[in-house]
Amino acid sequence: MTDLRLLDTDREFADVVERLLDEPAYALDTEFHRERTYFPKLALMQLAWSGGLVLVDPLAVDLAPMTTVLEGPGLAVLHAADQDLEVLELACGTVPSRLFDTQVAAGFVGMATPSLASLYERILGVRVHKADRLTDWLARPLSESQLDYAASDVAHLLEVQRVLAGDLEARGRLQWALDECEEVRARARGLRDPDQAWRRIKEARQLRGRARQVGQEVAAWRERRAAEIDVPVRHVLPDLAVVSIAQRAPTTSRELHKIRGLDDRHVRDELARQILAAVQRGLEREPAPQDDAPPRELERELRPAVALVSAWVSQLARNLQIDTSLLATRADLEALLRGDADARLGIGWRADLAGAPIRQLVDGEAALAFNGNGELLLEARSRRPL
């Protein structure tokens, strides 16, 4: 790629920031690693705007000035933005004030979570080289092929955004996509709540009583410890060890060393003391009433409706050329049928498109039928039994 600039001085970056403040839209992407750390380690930032493209080396450049761009009025265009937003929040302390996620937007024109490469090819007829997808971005110097790969992620992104926005406008769906992008932008990120860490361990969710209390405290300690020393949680304690400690509730170092899934590197003197203290906190804590309460379930008579409604929603999504997961997930359907106040199918465009018809179906005011071509059709109920 010609005229490719890698910025490695604060002065060069300041000039780019000043330019971006006047741009109505800019493309952004990041390269990062998190295999060996708790927090994602930013290795490269790619920026493109009308007539310009640069790569920024965050190992050499202070990214703090980028905050003014992110908080400014310009539209940030990213693809599959969720992890990039987490990285930006850590590196710059904020996320863009306006977001257009091309992967989300593509779902509203019939593309199911497409990769950026497939979007480029399908919309622009451009093929990009992806051999460096799993490269080491923290290595220096970066090779020419690495730089070309990174640049390709933003080189055509603004053009893709314009095409998608035009298509969405023509279909009357642009606001739907923008609303969904806003949900992605506003989603809570940052440090995960240590008190909820146990929920990410499948076996821990099956624990009950005292074992669950201990598991909650040990998982919370593990989360805080991992964040403190910036390593993946599995490097502090494996999931198996958390569950085993919860089940056995050791109170001495000797008992702790017998726990399955632990070895000497996990339970050195100070670490053993901290783990045992977490166990003790678990044994002493008062169980919260909701901890042992089963999740709210769908009423028995409505359970058959989930499969029925799912089939119709899938048909509706195909007919409208919308990614089914954007229209409604199974969890969305169950939330609506339960009557949850915050059910997504009861709000906005989803309510008009699917939520209201589903309520009519469940209330007996509508019926599903095959149209003769293998497709489901929702229609007014005749109330004439065969």
Of residues 386 and 212, which shows the higher confidence score? 212
- The phi, psi pair for 26, rounded to 5°, reads -145, 145
pLDDT of residue 129: 73
Whole-structure pTM value:
0.89
Positions of E strands within the chain: 5-7, 25-33, 41-49, 52-56, 75-78, 99-101, 366-370, 376-380
Supply the mean pLDDT for the chain: 92
Q: Which residues fall within 8 angstroms of residue 126, CB to CB, at 6 or more apart?
A: 120, 156
Quick check: 139 and 147 in contact, CB under 8 A? no
Helix or strand holding residue 204 (H, E): none
Looking at the domain that runs over 5-186, which CATH code has it been given? 3.30.420.10
pLDDT at 330: 94
Domain ranges in the chain are 5-186, 194-291, 300-380
For 115, phi then psi, to 5°, come to: -75, 165
Structure confidence by residue, pLDDT tens digits, 331-378 = 999 999 999 999 999 999 999 999 999 999 999 999 998 888 888 888
Residue 265 has a pLDDT of 79
Confidence of residue 130 (pLDDT cuts 50, 70, 90): low
- Give the pLDDT band of residue 286 (cuts 50, 70, 90): confident
- Annotate 365-385 with b (16+ C-beta within 10 A) or e (fewer): ebeeeeeeeeebebeeeeeee
Q: Is the pLDDT of residue 133 over 80?
A: no
Q: Which CATH superfamily is domain 194-291 in?
A: HRDC domain (1.10.150.80)
Q: What is the mean pLDDT of residues 22-37?
A: 96
Q: pLDDT value at position 132?
A: 61
Q: Which of 60, 70, 61, 59 minimizes the C-alpha distance to 92?
A: 70
- Is the CB of residue 266 less than 8 Å from the CB of residue 233? no
The string of pLDDT tens digits covering residues 219-238 is: 999 999 999 999 999 999 99
pLDDT at 269: 83
Instruction: Say whether pLDDT at 287 is over 80.
Output: no
Query: How far, in Å, CA of 253 to CA of 266, rounded?
Result: 12
Report the top-level CATH class of 300-380. mainly alpha
How far is C-alpha 241 from the chain's CA centre? 27
| 194-291 and 5-186 share a CATH fold | no
Residue 306, both tokens: 């989930």
pLDDT-derived band at 247, boundaries 50, 70, 90: very high
CA nearest neighbour of 297 among 329, 342, 340: 340
Does residue 207 contact residue 249 with C-beta atoms inside 8 Å?
no
